[in-house]
């Protein structure tokens, strides 16, 4: 991708093992309502377990409809989980009542894909950035100076203070959204496809701003994307999702060097990776067909109807994530 070629990804040598977020057996089933009764469930997220360490970017990648966006929203309780635990800084947020949720909503924020719909067109930039601060009743000594400081952090300036969203480009609107997020001094931000609605030419600038701010403000990110090049550029660790399940988790460089799960291999085969060495070495694996429906997912390994390596056990028994390296887990009967 333009602006990212030739740039190294993050150093992935994280020494800290302290987790900011631990997701344990998370499930989100959406009921399918019939006329008189529930006809079934869309198992959008089904028994997902992973952790995010303080200060890192954890990438969540997979095809459209795999459940990655639902994971991001459920973690923030924008959608209520069906089951499982979400441990944030040692506290299970699924048990939080309103007062604790107010605390959590200051700590954990989300940046949406579409900057057009996330900003109120009738508010000035100043009002947009101050709104969450006012909502939480936070006392700011000099609001104008406070907002100007945030605007400068995200690559805007004082001259933008009293302008309206329609006066800005898509990239600038995403920067306004970011200033608004930062106004609450969060620790954790879910970035849900934050650049996929933007022109390729501005994507790299926004990604670099996100990286700079992460270092400066000690932020932890969950970075959700279908774009492997961007995930590689942004993530220290990553999880690959298929049909509501995590199939491979671990150090980002390690997985890009040597993807193990057949689905990860197929995903990487389909898209060029902006690293000529990896691109040359990578195994080309093409799978047939479309992902099955999450309403009635296949038995055993959900990938078995499409997997060229499927064996008898694959359709009968579901593989769990299994440790195959110091920071690498795979859910596949081949390992």
| Interface positions with ligand SF4 (CB under 6 A) | 261-262, 301, 303-304, 307, 309-310, 314, 319, 332-334
221 versus 303: smaller Cβ distance to ligand SF4: 303
Angle formed at CA 178 by CA 173 and CA 179, multiple of 5 degrees: 95
160 versus 304: smaller Cβ distance to ligand SF4: 304
Angle formed at CA 64 by CA 34 and CA 208, multiple of 5 degrees: 140
162 versus 309: smaller Cβ distance to ligand SF4: 309
151 versus 307: smaller Cβ distance to ligand SF4: 307
156 versus 247: smaller Cβ distance to ligand SF4: 247
C-alpha pair distances (Å), 255 with each of 96, 173, 182, 249? 35, 33, 31, 8
Comparing C-alpha atoms, which of 262, 274, 287, 202 is closest to residue 231? Answer: 274
Q: Cα(322)–Cα(335) distance, rounded to whole angstroms?
A: 8
Q: How far is the CB of 27 from ligand SF4 (least distance, A)?
A: 20
Q: Which residues are registered as beta bridge partners of 24?
A: 85
Cα maximum dimension of the chain: 67
Q: Which phi and psi angles does 25 have, rounded to 5°?
A: 50, 45
CB 104 within 8 A of CB 41: no
Q: Cα(292)–Cα(91) distance, rounded to whole angstroms?
A: 36
Q: How far is the CB of 250 from ligand SF4 (least distance, A)?
A: 16
Q: How far is the CB of 68 from ligand SF4 (least distance, A)?
A: 19
Q: How far is the CB of 170 from ligand SF4 (least distance, A)?
A: 38
184 versus 310: smaller Cβ distance to ligand SF4: 310
Q: Which phi and psi angles does 177 have, rounded to 5°?
A: -60, -40
Q: How far is the CB of 325 from ligand SF4 (least distance, A)?
A: 17
Q: How far is the CB of 260 from ligand SF4 (least distance, A)?
A: 9
* DSSP 3-state of 306: helix
Q: Which residues are registered as beta bridge partners of 22?
A: 51, 87
67 versus 262: smaller Cβ distance to ligand SF4: 262
**Residue 106 corresponds to which tokens in the numbers above?**
């200051």
3 versus 298: smaller Cβ distance to ligand SF4: 298
* Residue found by looking up tokens 């701010």 in the block: 213
Gyration radius (Cα) of the chain, Å: 21
Q: How far is the CB of 189 from ligand SF4 (least distance, A)?
A: 32
Q: Cα(144)–Cα(140) distance, rounded to whole angstroms?
A: 9
Q: How far is the CB of 242 from ligand SF4 (least distance, A)?
A: 9
């Amino acid at each position: 991708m333009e602006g990212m070629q030739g740039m190294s990804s993050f150093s992935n040598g994280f020494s800290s093992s302290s987790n900011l977020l631990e997701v344990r057996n998370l499930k989100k089933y959406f009921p399918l309502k019939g006329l008189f009764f529930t006809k079934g469930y869309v198992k959008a997220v089904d028994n997902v377990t992973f952790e995010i360490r303080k200060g890192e970017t954890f990438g969540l990648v997979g095809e459209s409809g795999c459940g990655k966006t639902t994971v991001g929203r459920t973690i923030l309780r924008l959608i209520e989980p069906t089951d499982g635990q979400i441990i944030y800084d040692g506290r299970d947020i699924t048990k939080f009542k309103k007062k604790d949720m107010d605390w959590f909503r200051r700590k954990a924020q989300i940046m949406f894909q579409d900057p057009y719909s996330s900003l109120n067109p009738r508010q000035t930039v100043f009002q947009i950035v101050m709104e969450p601060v006012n909502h939480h009743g936070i006392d700011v000594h000099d609001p104008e100076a406070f907002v100007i400081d945030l605007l400068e952090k995200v690559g805007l300036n004082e001259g933008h203070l009293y302008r309206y969203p329609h006066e800005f480009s898509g990239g600038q609107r995403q920067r306004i959204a970011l200033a608004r997020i930062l106004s609450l001094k969060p620790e954790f931000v879910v970035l849900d496809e934050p650049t996929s609605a933007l022109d390729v030419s501005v994507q790299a600038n926004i990604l670099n701003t996100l990286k700079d701010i992460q270092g400066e403000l000690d932020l932890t990110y969950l970075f959700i994307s279908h774009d492997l090049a961007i995930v590689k550029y942004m993530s220290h660790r990553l999880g690959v999702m298929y049909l509501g399940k995590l199939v491979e988790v671990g150090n980002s460089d390690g997985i890009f060097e040597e993807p193990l799960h057949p689905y990860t291999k197929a995903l990487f085969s389909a898209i060029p990776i902006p690293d000529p060495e990896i691109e040359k070495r990578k195994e080309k694996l093409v799978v047939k067909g479309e992902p099955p429906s999450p309403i009635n997912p296949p038995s055993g390994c959900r990938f078995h109807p499409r997997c060229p390596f499927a064996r008898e056990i694959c359709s009968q028994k579901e593989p769990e994530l299994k440790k195959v390296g110091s920071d690498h887990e795979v859910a596949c009967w081949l390992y």
